[in-house]
Structure formats: structure tokens, C-alpha cells
């Protein structure tokens, strides 16, 4: 955060969009395990999170006391992507570790 010189608002956006992306991913994974109808839940979670970020910034464009910033969209997208990739890797590592324990 220090290297990017992000302000408090930008730092909270990184946390917020990371949490949103992880929650969407977990909801999609739950739906896939119960119904099996979700293709590529990680990519869908990233896409939905980015769409939420774009809508959020679009709303700010219409409000007089808020500022629309494409950089915010990029940071929100980056946060969502990194969070989802982290969760996918963590799940993969857990499955691999449980398989090695069973062997």
C-alpha cells in the first residue's frame, strides 16, 4: 500500500472488493456443488465483481459530491481478481494436501 501511495478510501475499496469477490465465489461454488449448473465459477465471480465496481463508479458519475475515476475501477478489478485467484489456489492446495494424506 505504501508503494502505491493509496489513500484510505482506495485501501478500503481493495478490501471491500476482495470480500465481495470471495463471497460471490463461495456462493457460486455452493451452487455448483448443490446443483452443478455453474460453469467457471472463478471467472464468473471476477466478472460480477468487476461489473459491481463499474456500476458503483457509474453511480458516482451522477452524484455531484462524488468523483468518477477509471483508476478506481482498475483497482477494484485488481482486488477482485487477486482475491479470487488466492481463493482458487488455497482450495487447490487444500485438496492436494488432503489427497496426499489419504495416500
pTM: 0.83
Q: Residue 13: what pLDDT? A: 78
Q: Residue 2: what pLDDT? A: 46
- Expressed in percent and rounded to 5, the helix, strand and coil fractions of the chain are 80, 0, 20
Residues contacting 20, CB < 8 A, separation 6+: 49, 52, 80
Q: Residue 7: what pLDDT? A: 63
| Per-residue model confidence as pLDDT tens digits over 49-102 | 999 999 999 998 898 888 888 888 998 999 999 999 999 999 999 989 888 888
Annotated domain spans of the chain = 10-102
Q: Residue 9: what pLDDT? A: 64
Amino acid at each position: 500500500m505504501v508503494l502505491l501511495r493509496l489513500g484510505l478510501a482506495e485501501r478500503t475499496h481493495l478490501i471491500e472488493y476482495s470480500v465481495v469477490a470471495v463471497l460471490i465465489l463461495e456462493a457460486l461454488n455452493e451452487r455448483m456443488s448443490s446443483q452443478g449448473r455453474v460453469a467457471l465459477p472463478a471467472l464468473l465471480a471476477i466478472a460480477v465483481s468487476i461489473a459491481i465496481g463499474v456500476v458503483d463508479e457509474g453511480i458516482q458519475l451522477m452524484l455531484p459530491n462524488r468523483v468518477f475515476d477509471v483508476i478506481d475501477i482498475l483497482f477494484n478489478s485488481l482486488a477482485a481478481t487477486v482475491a479470487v485467484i488466492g481463493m482458487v489456489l488455497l482450495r487447490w492446495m487444500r485438496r492436494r494436501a488432503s489427497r496426499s494424506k489419504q495416500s
